[in-house]
Amino acid sequence: MTENQNNVLVKADHIKVYFKGKNKKSGTVKAVDDISLEIMEGETFGVVGESGCGKSTFGRTLVRLQKPTSGKVFLDGEDTADLKGKKLKEMCRKGQIIFQDPSACLNPRRTIRQILMEPFEIHNMKKEVDVDARILELLQLVGLDEYHLSRYPHELSGGQKQRVGIARALALSPKLIVCDEAVSALDVSVQAQVLNLLQELKEKLHLTYFFISHNLNVVYQVSDRVAVMYLGKIVELAPYDSLYEHRYHPYTEALLSAIPQVDENGQTERIRLEGEVPSPSNPPSGCHFHTRCTKVCERCKTEAPDLREVSPGHLVACHLYDR
């Protein structure tokens, strides 16, 4: 843990994000259902969960790309919902996002120079910043060359496009970067290069990451703390090493068992989850995981477990660990 990690950079206070279903029958989709947490400055906070668990919606809420239905987000001590005008723009500079698919988030009709110019145009900073020099600096930071500036996105490889996405996120010198499945669309070898780059940039620029992935293995590689999400809720939250040594929640155990590992007998054990992920518009009663849990009991079907501390900094929402 670095010295910076004593300061809270992000505080999410009882965040709920609900969406109306397409029709009356589909009901309300509870994408994020009452999440509170703090992210420390200089930390990489990893979030893992299956597709549709609400992790991306929650990440977008932290940088104000998604308005919460209720609850508050504080970034660098300021309530992001209250900000307007100049203060709002300042806050937007502090929190940036890297998206999953670099091909989809770069305008195909603009050159890389024009794409990297955009943040300075949007924030009216072309007079106060030497934009050309800053763009060259950004290229160097992400390992691209000057000749890439005249290229269009389709002329770059997947890894190069993601480097452009990272450079764009860095342009306004943010404090927090939400990495939303930032390496999921890349080949495994390129994934490793981009993960290394993110790690180098974090150290060099004192960044804080909110790192989202469906892949627990990837989250393990980069995170200081890891939260496991299931149907809009955090079911386990712990420092990386604590979670690696001891998974309490049956869902985390199943996710971890999906990472290929050979035990001392030379065998790989995998816990296969039965059934589909239930719809977030009609989640199961009690513990949302009870329809797929191998350790379910009667109480789980009616009573939702609270997130409780089971060892220092290690929180779990499961009746197996209620005192």
Binding site for ligand SF4 (CB under 6 A): 249-250, 287, 289-290, 293, 295-296, 300, 305, 318-320
**Between 15 and 318, whose beta carbon lies closer to ligand SF4?**
318
Amino acid at 182: A
Residue 45 beta carbon to ligand SF4: minimum distance, rounded to whole angstroms: 23
What whole-number distance in Å separates Cα of residue 283 and Cα of residue 30?
Answer: 9
What whole-number distance in Å separates Cα of residue 240 and Cα of residue 219?
Answer: 9
Decide: 288 and 250 in contact? Cβ < 8 Å.
Answer: no
List all residues 6 or more positions away from 261 whose beta carbon is below 8 Å from its beta carbon: 268
**Between 168 and 249, whose beta carbon lies closer to ligand SF4?**
249
What whole-number distance in Å separates Cα of residue 320 and Cα of residue 294?
Answer: 12
Determine the straight-line distance between the first and last CA of the chain, rounded to whole angstroms.
30
Token pair, residue 264, equals 């001392």
Residue 63 beta carbon to ligand SF4: minimum distance, rounded to whole angstroms: 31
**Between 246 and 319, whose beta carbon lies closer to ligand SF4?**
319
Residue 283 beta carbon to ligand SF4: minimum distance, rounded to whole angstroms: 12
Nearest alpha carbon to residue 173 among 154, 140, 211, 201: 201
**Between 210 and 251, whose beta carbon lies closer to ligand SF4?**
251
Could you tell me the CA-to-CA distances from 88 to 170, 172, 253, 303 in Å, in that order?
18, 14, 41, 41
**Between 169 and 300, whose beta carbon lies closer to ligand SF4?**
300
Residue 216 beta carbon to ligand SF4: minimum distance, rounded to whole angstroms: 17
Residue 251 beta carbon to ligand SF4: minimum distance, rounded to whole angstroms: 6
Residue 255 beta carbon to ligand SF4: minimum distance, rounded to whole angstroms: 13
**Between 5 and 257, whose beta carbon lies closer to ligand SF4?**
257
- Using DSSP bridges, classify how beta strands 176-180 and 208-213 pair: parallel, antiparallel or unpaired: parallel
Residue 210 β-bridge partners: 45, 178
Residue 236 beta carbon to ligand SF4: minimum distance, rounded to whole angstroms: 10
**Between 143 and 284, whose beta carbon lies closer to ligand SF4?**
284
Nearest alpha carbon to residue 194 among 169, 229, 227: 169
3-state helix, strand, coil in the chain (%, to 5): 35, 25, 40
